[in-house]
Amino acid sequence: MLKKLFPLLILPFVFSCKHAEEKKTITPTTPSIVVQYAQGFEIEDFETYKIVTLKNPWPGATETYTYALVQKGATVPETLEVTTVVEVPLKNIVVTSTTHIPSLEMLEVENKLIGFPNLDYISSEKTRALIDLGAIKELGKNEDINTEVLIDLSPDAVVTFAVAGQNKTVSTIEKTGIPVLYNADWTETHPLGKAEWIKFFGVLFGKEKEADSIFSDIERNYNEAKQLASTSNSKPTVLSGAMFKDVWYLPQGDSWAAQFIADANGDYLWGDSEGTGSLSLNLETVLEKGKNADFWIGPSQFSSYVQMEEAHSVYSEFRAYQEKKVFSFTTKKGATGGVIYYELAPNRPDLVLKDIIKILHPELLPDYELFFFAPLQ
């Protein structure tokens, strides 16, 4: 449940709103913006406009969304089939997932954010200061955005996501004349793929160079940390997840979480499983394989050993529990209770990786302090 996904929408200055199952081939006049790790989008540059193609808006999607981002006064060819046309740079925006907030802040356009559903989820002190000033309006629940407030705000764009098919709220909002742009950062499985979505926001605000520079720094930091981890001769075994009712949920071997452990030179015990989501296992299976794991990283929402034992006495049978080697990312929260990891971690995989290296190989980062994770109390 690493992720709070929130619903919908986008852009007021929109001329056309039509799905492009097939886009006319037009050669970009300048090189396309490089997208190396993210699999869900690509950007083509035509000088006076850019084409952003969303290839994987949600898992298993067959739809392709094509957005034309047009400079003021420019037009796109009539033969070009697009889902939505939007004038950029945006003057203001509404986003619907906390994972969008760090990109806005890193690009220094957080003051362009004028609305968000369920403001309490936002943890960033910088954006919370804007909320306290009344600069960002509450839009209700992300499954049922308050369209009256949204219409009054009249944002240039609403950026949303969909979990399992089209978000039904999108069509409702589009009928008001406000366009919608999907953002699928959450579908990426490579840690740097999620972070690369800052380039999506970069083109919306005319800050392509800044976005590229910020991502390059994150990429370099991540790869340097990965290289450092590879120098360790030890490869500790790692258990993850916890039980919900009678089912133990833990990350599959191709998932985002599993990749972090692998890059930190750890041996995730279910790393050979296929899939990018979660495994659903019975307690006996997990106990047999994970009882002697060296570390336990990400034990669901637990923040203390007492909580774990009260929930189920079997947790105390695991060696990582007995040796106090259980680490959680849910203990660090914002002022209104939002988990900082859910908001910032997708944008800063370099810090997540360093945290896990510090846990598994503390000798490699002797002066580093854990940023997201903390040992259970």
Q: Which residue stretches of the chain have pLDDT < 50?
A: 1-25
Q: In what order do the strands lie in the sheet with 242-244?
A: 242-244, 247-251, 278-281
Alpha-carbon distance of 24 to 21, in angstroms, equals 10
Q: What is the CATH topology of the domain spanning 14-219? A: Rossmann fold (3.40.50)
- Contact in structure between 351 and 357 (CB atoms under 8 Å): no
Dihedral angle computed from the Cα positions of residues 225, 228, 232 and 238, in that order, rounded to the nearest 10 degrees = 10
pLDDT tens for each residue of 244-281: 999 999 999 999 999 999 999 999 999 999 999 999 99
Q: How far apart are CA 295 and CA 326, in angstroms?
A: 6
User: pTM for this one?
Assistant: 0.90
Cis peptide before 89, with omega less than 30 degrees from 0?
Answer: yes
The ranges of the chain annotated as CATH 3.40.50.1980 are: 14-219, 231-375
Peptide bond into 349 cis (omega under 30): no
- The CB-side HSE value for 300 (13 A sphere, CA atoms) comes to 16
Helix (H), strand (E) at residue 148: helix 147-153
CATH of domain 231-375: 3.40.50.1980
Give the pLDDT of residue 176: 86
| DSSP structural state of residue 336 | T
Beta carbons of 335 and 303 less than 8 angstroms apart: no
pLDDT at position 15, please? Answer: 34
Bridge partners (DSSP) of residue 140 are 145
Sign, Cα dihedral of 132, 186, 341, 307: positive
Reported as a single tens digit per residue, the pLDDT across 278-292 is 999 999 999 999 999
Whole-angstrom distance, CA of residue 98 vs CA of residue 328: 20
Closest CA relative to residue 323, chosen from 279, 251, 260, 376 = 376
CA distance 377 to 372: 15
